[in-house]
Amino acid sequence: MAESFKDKVAIIGMGCSKFGENWDMGSEDMIVDATYNALEDAGIEMKDIDAAWVGTIGFHGTGAGMTSTGITGAAISMPLKLHYKPVTHVENGCATGTDALRNAAFAVAAKVYDIVLVVGVEKLKDTGFGGLGELAIPPHPVFEGGITAPGMYALAATRYFKKYGLSPEEGKKMLAKVSVKSHYNASRNPRAHLRNVINEEQVLNAPMIAWPLGLFDCCGVTDGAAVAILCRAEDAKNFRDDYVLVKGLGLSIGPGQGSIRTDYDFTIWDETVHAAKEAYAMAGIKDPRKEIDLVECHDCFSISEVIAVESLGLCERGKAREDLEAGAWTQEGDIPVNLSGGLKAFGHPIGASGCREAFEIYQQLQGKAEDKSRRLKNPRMGLVHNQAGLPGKFMCAVGIYGLPD
């Protein structure tokens, strides 16, 4: 019979490469930088790693990892020289990073391995055009092709405004508060990609990407890698005292109801609801807004943060605007969201994001977040929301990481 997974696996080291338009770095460079950063943090060497998981969607190939049939474990084995160790490639859209960590954690809990490496990486800036463009391989020659991520997320914004009686102007103003907050948070985070402080007016006057979403409603297109090293909780003390425990993990894959079912209304994301439910149950969380001290959510677009926070049960449905106006999601607020700057301003290298979000929680729980002004006072539990797909068809992973009780 399945057992609770709570507190069985510990994160004993994490690392992060430079996030940004890394013109001079390939995915191999970022993998090496982030992995050695994590090894140093854990105080171990490469030979101590028993097995590894690599999360990437291989947006523009992964250099060494590519074969004629797709992406393989060689994506990290070659640059890291993980001589003949087992490496699994995990891919679950933009939820890849958390799902890679999830599968690695299961292997550790199953006592198949003692120490494992999780690498999330993406190289986006080798395409020759801005943004991510259209879906590279649409699911069908004519059905739902020729569309982009902002175009699809904007569907949710349009309907959210309509449902809650916001004019497009009021709705866009609400969303602007999210982006202004993200940039402010990133401005104080030395590792973030987009560190410019912006104001609401700039957001509202920015070029339109996919109405009603403008340029500042969209996350950065960023290269980067983030890495975690895991072991069983009982071994964690051998490596450090301030290790972080995996409290709960949830994953929910949507069957694509948005384009088929008339009762799917785009303003609440069922995959997030289900993934959070699984993770909360595992972690024993009953009142998430009270029990969780900080949230790194998948804010690929401003509207994503609004609906994600509501779908996670951290804010009453339709009340995000009130929360945002009250500053409830800021560092000083009730439930700080995306203190790192989020996908919006820290950056969103697809396969890396889930690990990068965990990195922020990890550092905050340890009281080691870079730039002291960013540190929360004694946080004990953080939530990672990592989501793939598009409104109507999501794959959502939720991770809850906390300090030992």
Residues classed as catalytic:
94, 348
Question: Exactly one of 169, 196, 205, 211 binds other proteins (CB under 8 A); which one?
Answer: 211
CB 153 to other proteins: min, Å? 8
Mapped onto helix, strand or coil, the DSSP state of residue 396 is: strand
Backbone angles phi, psi at 199, to 5 degrees: -120, 170
Nearer to other proteins, 2 or 142 (CB): 142
Mapped onto helix, strand or coil, the DSSP state of residue 79 is: helix
Question: Exactly one of 2, 111, 146, 241 binds other proteins (CB under 8 A); which one?
Answer: 146
Question: Exactly one of 36, 50, 88, 127 binds other proteins (CB under 8 A); which one?
Answer: 127
Q: In whole angstroms, what is the distance from residue 386 CA to residue 352 CA?
A: 10
The reply to whether 187 sits near other proteins by the rule CB under 8 A is no
The reply to whether 269 sits near other proteins by the rule CB under 8 A is no
Question: Exactly one of 13, 58, 250, 258 binds other proteins (CB under 8 A); which one?
Answer: 258
Using only C-alpha atoms, the chain has a radius of gyration, in whole angstroms, of: 20
Nearer to other proteins, 179 or 363 (CB): 179
CB 131 to other proteins: min, Å? 5
Q: Are 27 and 12 in contact (CB under 8 A)?
A: no
DSSP result, 161-183: HHHTT--HHHHHHHHHHHHHHHH
The reply to whether 126 sits near other proteins by the rule CB under 8 A is no
The reply to whether 278 sits near other proteins by the rule CB under 8 A is no
The reply to whether 165 sits near other proteins by the rule CB under 8 A is no
Q: In whole angstroms, what is the distance from residue 50 CA to residue 85 CA?
A: 7
Q: Are 88 and 103 in contact (CB under 8 A)?
A: yes
Nearer to other proteins, 112 or 208 (CB): 208
Q: Return the amino acid letter for 403.
A: L
Binding residues among 334-373 for other proteins as defined by CB under 8 A = none
Choose the stretch contacting other proteins; rule: CB under 8 A; options: 29-37, 40-48, 70-78, 152-160: 152-160
Beta strand 294-296 with 70-71 is unpaired
The reply to whether 170 sits near other proteins by the rule CB under 8 A is no
The reply to whether 326 sits near other proteins by the rule CB under 8 A is no
Nearer to other proteins, 131 or 327 (CB): 131
* 178 CB neighbour count, 10 Å cutoff: 27
CB 200 to other proteins: min, Å? 21
Choose the stretch contacting other proteins; rule: CB under 8 A; options: 203-211, 241-249, 343-351, 378-386: 203-211
Backbone angles phi, psi at 152, to 5 degrees: -75, -40
Mapped onto helix, strand or coil, the DSSP state of residue 359 is: helix
Q: Return the amino acid letter for 335.
A: I
Nearer to other proteins, 104 or 157 (CB): 157
The reply to whether 23 sits near other proteins by the rule CB under 8 A is no
Residue that is written with structure tokens 């953080």 in the block:
382
The distance between the two most distant Cα atoms of the chain, rounded to a whole number of Å, is 59
Q: Are 20 and 252 in contact (CB under 8 A)?
A: no
Question: Exactly one of 81, 237, 261, 368 binds other proteins (CB under 8 A); which one?
Answer: 261
CB 301 to other proteins: min, Å? 11
Q: Binding residues for other proteins, how many (CB under 8 A)? A: 47
The reply to whether 157 sits near other proteins by the rule CB under 8 A is yes
Question: Exactly one of 156, 275, 294, 297 binds other proteins (CB under 8 A); which one?
Answer: 156
Residue that is written with structure tokens 């790693």 in the block:
49
The reply to whether 128 sits near other proteins by the rule CB under 8 A is yes
The reply to whether 204 sits near other proteins by the rule CB under 8 A is no
The reply to whether 141 sits near other proteins by the rule CB under 8 A is yes
* Distance of alpha carbon 208 from the chain centroid: 25
DSSP result, 115-150: SEEEEEEE--TTSSSSS--B-SS-SSSSTT-S-BHH
Question: Exactly one of 110, 112, 136, 326 binds other proteins (CB under 8 A); which one?
Answer: 136
The reply to whether 154 sits near other proteins by the rule CB under 8 A is yes
CB 390 to other proteins: min, Å? 10
Give the DSSP H or E segment for 274: helix 270-283
Backbone angles phi, psi at 312, to 5 degrees: -75, -5
The candidate with the shortest Cα–Cα distance to 101, out of 400, 325, 405, 381, is: 400
Kindly list the residues in this chain that would bind other proteins in the complex (CB under 8 A): 127-129, 131, 133-134, 136-138, 140-148, 150-159, 162, 207-213, 255, 257-262, 264-266, 392
